[in-house]
Every structure is written in structure tokens, then in C-alpha cells.
């Protein structure tokens, strides 16, 4: 979707659909709407009175102008109660708006700034949220549908109206919003693409495209190199698959050499069948999205490069399939990890931690400022937190606080779980340094506990996005399927760091 920012007013703008916002519980129209309503013989005020438009979040009313103003239609969208409006209300409202605009058949529309400037929300934040909501709300994955005419025409252009004094701030915010939403859309594409196409080699191809962006360097380690280094975790998981594993390192240099990098490590299992500990058939197709963490790391590096953020970031992706082939790792096998530690694999379906462990050990060798890993790691996360919170565990309070803040800003919120030493008891093995499952209880915690043994003393946070990565229903700006949750969180965090 192309986004343009224009100077103009509600009464003089020619457009297919003109979007205006309204709060819940307001009895009268604000000044700009009053001016507009004069051309509508007071229809808008009347709809407020009768309760036809209450301003509830995501409520919409469409009014045809029949030539009374240059805009063909007015789309009134509810933002909820004024004191409760957040940036996410704005994203939701815009997600609702683009779908309503599509129903009219219009390909382009114009919106006034939704939700006024407050001490909590600047004009640039509001316009950023608007663009994020519009682009993400219009996302569809139709690449594999041969009859494109069934899908209708996409809405491909948005104009945002701004006053002269707001113009520059709206431009800054909408530019940022577009890049962030495009990053999340890329993640959705990568996760929607089935595993017969999006295999480890294709992920490398995607990384190659990203490395064309300014300041991004790509290194890919092949199996031979992994063997030489001793990446027993990644190699062990990949044994059951015909597809060779890959280890991708993307380095973005946006600051001086002395600035230590923030390292992002993303679980990239292009398909998780469970391996020999095979998963049940129901919903197994969703395991094509077990590469969400890695896709998000790729997209995040791309976004900070496009925004030319002033910091150094390294993205690390251990990439593999988890399959039950004849040479697959078996329950009871012992792997020697990159760090030198040994792990007894008691369940081959707990593969994410095995490949991440090697990714984290590799990260420590690059002397990072901090390490953040992101992964669709445990079904236990789904049980504990459901569809709306990312599980967060880590060893550094300051880093956790920063991610919490970025979560509130981006609408991709995190919730902390404890990482107490006592939980390590559950990971003890009789024959190796540890085992890869923690038995009954606290599955999200024991998985993180496992990872913590591979990060040394570096500040580190683990984000578990299992279950939040996939939406079972359509939401205002998140469709059914891959949500890309975590992408906007990571980008917001990095942009805050770069300030
Ligand atoms: N990729 C799965 C976790 C997952 C489950 C992600 C559901 C998204 C939705 C992971 O590799 C896995 O299978 N974990 C096991 C670990 C267990 C065997 C200790 C799980 O959580 O069941
Ligand atoms: Zn698994
Ligand atoms: Zn998995």
C-alpha cells in the first residue's frame, strides 16, 4: 500500500472515502466534524443523538455525500472511550477501516489523523500506528490461489490529512509505520508459505535479498562448517531431514565499530513434525510457522537497515527441518553442543532449544551488548498465556524492563515468568550434562532454563511466541494464521535503543 501525507481539510478533500474518527460517549461533534456536518444537513449530529453512531471501538458508519463535499463518502469509525484510547485502538480502527473501504470497491482512501495528540501519544506515533493498522489490516496471502478475481481488488493507496504544522511529524511517523508493517507482512508471507517451498535453502535466499540493503553483511555456514565448529544441537535436529541445515548470520552496522552489537537469535524450524517423537496429525500444518522467530529476526534486521537506525545489530538464524528420517536423532541420543556441553535428547520434539543453544553460544563469541532470542518454543506457553501475551524470561532486569516498554508501545505485549535456579533440577540427566525436557510442570520455564545455560553472563532475554504466533480468528488488523507477533516489538525495542 502506498502512503501519502497531504495538507488539507475535511471539506475540501476529493477522495473515494474520507475517514474520520469518533470517541465513545461523546454527545457533540468536534469543530472539524461540525464544519463537515454543515454540508450533510446535520446528519452526523443526528446519528450521534439517535445512537446510530456510538463511537464504540471498531464501529463503522458509511455516509454518501452525493456531491455535497468533494469526498464521495464519509466513513466514521469508533475509537472507544477517549480516556482509554491507546495506539493499539488506532491500529485496530485503521484495520477495520481498510476492510470496510475494500467492501465499497474503492482502491484508495483518505483519512484524517485518528485519536488526538495527548501527552501519551505524539502526532508521529499516531500516524505510525495508523499506517501499521492500515497495511497490516489489508494483508492477505493469495499467492497460491489461481482464481485471483475471487479476491476482489486490493486497497492500495492511503492519504493522510495533516495540518500544516503537523505535516512533517506525520510524514516521519507514517514512513516508520510503513517500514515496520512491511517487515511484519514479510514475516507473515514467510510463515504462510508452505514448507515444501520455504525450506532452509529458501530462507537463505531470503536472507540474501535482505543483505542487499545498506550496511547488511551476510554469512552462511554450511553443514561442513557446522561440523568443524561442533554445532551438535543444530546438526542433531537436522539429521532426520533431506534438507541440509543452514546457519545464517546477518550483520547490520549502523554505528561505530566500538559499539557492541545487540544480537537477535531466532528459532527457524521450517517444519516441525516432532521428529521421531512425532506430533499428532491435528493442526500439524501450522508447524510450517515454526520458523516465525527466525523470520522475525530477518525482517527486523531489514527494517532497522531501511530506517538507518544508529546501532549495530546481528541476526542469527539456525535453520533446519525437524523430520523423522532413517538417520534421525532418537530419544536417548546424546549430542555435544557448540558450547561443549552434552545433552541427552529425551524428546526429539523439543528441538527448538537444541538449535537455539548453538545459536546462543555462537552469539556469545561475538561479544554482544545483549542477546535476545525469539522462538515458537513451547506448547506450555500456549497453556499459560493463551493468544495475547508473549512469554518473557531472562537474566537481566534492565533488559526485561526495556522489552516490556517496547511491548506496550507496539501492542505486542510481554509477560514475565520466573527463571529460578530450582527449575534446573527438572533438567538433570543420568547420563549427560542435562536433558532436553523438564518433565511435568513449568514447561515454558524449563525450556528457558535450558537456554540460560548457553548465554554465559551476557544480558539475555528469551521470548516465547508459541501460540501468539498464530491467530485462530480474524482480528481487526491481524488475520487468521501467522500474526508475525514479535516483529514490531523487536523493532520498537531497537529504535528505542538507537535514540
Ligand atoms: N514448535 C513446538 C512448540 C509449539 C507448539 C509452537 C504449538 C506453536 C504451537 C516445539 O518444538 C515443541 O514441540 N515443543 C514441545 C516440547 C516438549 C516436548 C517438551 C511442546 O511444547 O510440546
Ligand atoms: Zn517440536
Ligand atoms: Zn518446534
**CATH number of the domain that residue 132 is part of:** 3.40.220.10
Counting the structural domains of the chain, the total is 2
320 lines ligand 1 (CB under 6 A): no
pLDDT value of position 150: 72
Residue 234 falls inside a structural domain: yes
| Spatial distance between the Cα atoms of 376 and 465, rounded to a whole number of angstroms | 5
Helix, coil or strand: residue 101? helix
| Spatial distance between the Cα atoms of 35 and 12, rounded to a whole number of angstroms | 11
| Spatial distance between the Cα atoms of 104 and 159, rounded to a whole number of angstroms | 17
Residue 459 falls inside a structural domain: yes
Place 116 in a pLDDT band, splitting at 50, 70 and 90: confident
Domain boundary among 97, 128, 163: 163
Range of the domain at 43: 2-146+158-163
Q: Which ligand is nearest to the CA of 379?
A: 1
Q: Are 133 and 213 within one domain?
A: no
Q: Does 16 score more than 80 pLDDT?
A: yes
- 234 and 339 Cβ atoms separated by less than 8 Å: no
Nearest to 250 by CA among 219, 289, 294, 281: 219
Q: Whose CA is nearest to atom 8 of ligand 1?
A: 466
The pLDDT of 222-243, averaged and rounded, is 98
| Spatial distance between the Cα atoms of 321 and 299, rounded to a whole number of angstroms | 20
The pLDDT of 441-469, averaged and rounded, is 98
132 lines ligand 1 (CB under 6 A): no
> To the nearest whole number, what is the mean pLDDT of the chain?
97
Q: Does 469 score more than 80 pLDDT?
A: yes
Helix/strand/coil (H/E/C) assignment for every residue in 44-66: HHHHHHHCCCCCCCCCEEEEECC
The residue to mutate among 277, 286, 377, having the most atoms of ligand 1 within 8 angstroms of its beta carbon, is 377
Q: Are 401 and 466 within one domain?
A: yes
Q: Are 136 and 210 within one domain?
A: no
464 lines ligand 1 (CB under 6 A): no
CA 110 / ligand 1 centre spacing (Å): 44
pLDDT value of position 120: 84
Residue 149: CB atoms within 10 Å: 6
* Residue 245 DSSP class: P
Q: Are 115 and 231 within one domain?
A: no
pLDDT value of position 149: 77
Residue 152 falls inside a structural domain: no
Q: What is the per-residue pLDDT across 245-269, written as a single tens digit (0 to 9) for each?
A: 999 999 999 999 999 999 999 999 9
Residue 449 falls inside a structural domain: yes
Nearest to 241 by CA among 352, 347, 327: 327
- Backbone dihedral region for residue 24 (phi beyond 0: left; psi -120 to 50: alpha; all else: beta): beta
Burial class (CB in 10 A: 0-12, 13-18, 19+), 145: exposed
CA 245 / ligand 3 centre spacing (Å): 15
437 lines ligand 1 (CB under 6 A): yes
pLDDT value of position 6: 96
Q: Which helix (H) or strand (E) holds 6?
A: strand 2-7
Helix, coil or strand: residue 177? helix
Q: Are 213 and 290 within one domain?
A: yes
Q: Does 499 score more than 90 pLDDT?
A: no
Q: Are 190 and 141 within one domain?
A: no
| Spatial distance between the Cα atoms of 260 and 256, rounded to a whole number of angstroms | 9
485 lines ligand 1 (CB under 6 A): no
Place 30 in a pLDDT band, splitting at 50, 70 and 90: confident
DSSP assignment of 399-437: HHHHHHHHHHHHT--EEE----GGGGGGG--SSSSEES-
- Backbone dihedral region for residue 116 (phi beyond 0: left; psi -120 to 50: alpha; all else: beta): beta
Nearest to 6 by CA among 100, 109, 155, 82: 109
The pLDDT of 405-424, averaged and rounded, is 97
467 lines ligand 1 (CB under 6 A): yes
Q: Whose CA is nearest to atom 5 of ligand 1?
A: 379
Q: Are 136 and 193 within one domain?
A: no
Residue 386: CB atoms within 10 Å: 10
pLDDT value of position 436: 98
Domain boundary among 163, 194, 219: 163
- 240 and 275 Cβ atoms separated by less than 8 Å: yes
Residue 172 falls inside a structural domain: no
Q: Does 176 score more than 80 pLDDT?
A: yes
The fraction of the chain above a pLDDT of 90, given in percent, is: 96
- CATH of residue 301's domain is 3.40.630.10
Residue 303: CB atoms within 10 Å: 27
CA 16 / ligand 2 centre spacing (Å): 48
Q: Give the burial string for 308-344 (b: 16+ CB within 10 Å, else e).
A: ebebbbbbbbbbbbbbbeeebbeeebbbbbbbebebb
Q: Are 83 and 229 within one domain?
A: no
Residue 169 falls inside a structural domain: no
| Spatial distance between the Cα atoms of 249 and 313, rounded to a whole number of angstroms | 11
CA 137 / ligand 1 centre spacing (Å): 29
List own/partner pairs for 95-98 with CB under 8 A and 24 or more apart.
Answer: 95/133, 95/134, 95/136, 95/137, 95/475, 95/476, 95/477, 95/478, 96/58, 96/60, 96/137, 96/476, 97/19, 97/60, 97/133, 97/134, 97/137, 98/133, 98/134, 98/137, 98/138, 98/155, 98/158
Residue 171 falls inside a structural domain: no
Beta bridge partners of 220: 248
Nearest to 432 by CA among 450, 455, 447: 450
Place 119 in a pLDDT band, splitting at 50, 70 and 90: confident
Q: Are 63 and 9 within one domain?
A: yes
Q: Are 387 and 472 within one domain?
A: yes
Q: Are 408 and 325 within one domain?
A: yes
Atom of ligand 1 nearest to the CA of 274: 13
Q: Are 251 and 104 within one domain?
A: no
Nearest to 465 by CA among 494, 444, 439, 495: 444
Place 131 in a pLDDT band, splitting at 50, 70 and 90: very high
| Spatial distance between the Cα atoms of 323 and 349, rounded to a whole number of angstroms | 10
| Spatial distance between the Cα atoms of 254 and 257, rounded to a whole number of angstroms | 9
Q: Does 157 score more than 80 pLDDT?
A: yes
Q: Does 107 score more than 90 pLDDT?
A: yes
Q: Does 151 score more than 80 pLDDT?
A: no
Residue 179 falls inside a structural domain: no
Beta bridge partners of 22: 78
The residues annotated as belonging to the active site are 279, 353
Q: Which helix (H) or strand (E) holds 205?
A: helix 200-210
pLDDT value of position 27: 87
Give this prediction's pTM: 0.97
Q: What is the per-residue pLDDT across 367-381, written as a single tens digit (0 to 9) for each?
A: 999 999 999 999 999
Amino acid at each position: 500500500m502506498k502512503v501519502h501525507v497531504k495538507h488539507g481539510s475535511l471539506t475540501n478533500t476529493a477522495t473515494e472515502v474520507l475517514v474520520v474518527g469518533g470517541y465513545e460517549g461523546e454527545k457533540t461533534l468536534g469543530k472539524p466534524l461540525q464544519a463537515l456536518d454543515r454540508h450533510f444537513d446535520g446528519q452526523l449530529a443526528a446519528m450521534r443523538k439517535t445512537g446510530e453512531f456510538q463511537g464504540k471501538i471498531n464501529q463503522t458508519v458509511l455516509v454518501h455525500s452525493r456531491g455535497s463535499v468533494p469526498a464521495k463518502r464519509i466513513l466514521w469509525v469508533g475509537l472507544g472511550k477517549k480516556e482509554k484510547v491507546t495506539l493499539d485502538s488506532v491500529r485496530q480502527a485503521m484495520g477495520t477501516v481498510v476492510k470496510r473501504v475494500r467492501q465499497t470497491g474503492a482502491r484508495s482512501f483518505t483519512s484524517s489523523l485518528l485519536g488526538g495528540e495527548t501527552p501519551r501519544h505524539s502526532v508521529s506515533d499516531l500516524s505510525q500506528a495508523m499506517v501499521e493498522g492500515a497495511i497490516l489490516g489489508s494483508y492477505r496471502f493469495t499467492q497460491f490461489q489461481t482464481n485471483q478475481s475471487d479476491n476482489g481488488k486490493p486497497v492500495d493507496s492511503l492519504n493522510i490529512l495533516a495540518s500544516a504544522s503537523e505535516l512533517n511529524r506525520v510524514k516521519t511517523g507514517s514512513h516508520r509505520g510503513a517500514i515496520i508493517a512491511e517487515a511484519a507482512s514479510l514475516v507473515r508471507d514467510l510463515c504462510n508459505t508452505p514448507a515444501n517451498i520455504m525450506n532452509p535453502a529458501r530462507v537463505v535466499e531470503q536472507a540474501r535479498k535482505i543483505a542487499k540493503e545498506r550496511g547488511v553483511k551476510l554469512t552462511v555456514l554450511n553443514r561442513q562448517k557446522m561440523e568443524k565448529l561442533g554445532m551438535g544441537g543444530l546438526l542433531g535436529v537436522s539429521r532426520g531431514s533431506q534438507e541440509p541445515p543452514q546457519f545464517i548470520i546477518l550483520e547490520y552496522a549502523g554505528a561505530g565499530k566500538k559499539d557492541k552489537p545487540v544480537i537477535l537469535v531466532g528459532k527457524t524450524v521450517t517444519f516441525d513434525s516432532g521428529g521421531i517423537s512425532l506430533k499428532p496429525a491435528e493442526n500439524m500444518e501450522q508447524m510450517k510457522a515454526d520458523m516465525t522467530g527466525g523470520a522475525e529476526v530477518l525482517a527486523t534486521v531489514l527494517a532497522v537497515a531501511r530506517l538507518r537506525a544508529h546501532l549495530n545489530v546481528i541476526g542469527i538464524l539456525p535453520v533446519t527441518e525437524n523430520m523423522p528420517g532413517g538417520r534421525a536423532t532418537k530419544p536417548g541420543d546424546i549430542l555435544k553442543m557448540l558450547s561443549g556441553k552434552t545433552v541427552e535428547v529425551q524428546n526429539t520434539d523439543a528441538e527448538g532449544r537444541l538449535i537455539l543453544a548453538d545459536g546462543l553460544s555462537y552469539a556469545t563469541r561475538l561479544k554482544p551488548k545483549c542477546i535476545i532470542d525469539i522462538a515458537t518454543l513451547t506448547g506450555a506457553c500456549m497453556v499459560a498465556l493463551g493468544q495475547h501475551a508473549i512469554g518473557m524470561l531472562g537474566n537481566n532486569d534492565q533488559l526485561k524492563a526495556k522489552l516490556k516498554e517496547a511491548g506496550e508501545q507496539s501492542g505486542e505485549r510481554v509477560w514475565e515468568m520466573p527463571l529460578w535456579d530450582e527449575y534446573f533440577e527438572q533438567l538433570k540427566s543420568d547420563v549427560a550434562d542435562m536433558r532436553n525436557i523438564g518433565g511435568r510442570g513449568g514447561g515454558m520455564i524449563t525450556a528457558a532454563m535450558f537456554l540460560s545455560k548457553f548465554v554465559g553472563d551476557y544480558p539475555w532475554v528469551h521470548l516465547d511466541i508459541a501460540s501468539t504466533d498464530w491467530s485462530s480468528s480474524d482480528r481487526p488488523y491481524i488475520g487468521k494464521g501467522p500474526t508475525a507477533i514479535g516483529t514490531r516489538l523487536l523493532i520498537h525495542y531497537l529504535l528505542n535503543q538507537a535514540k
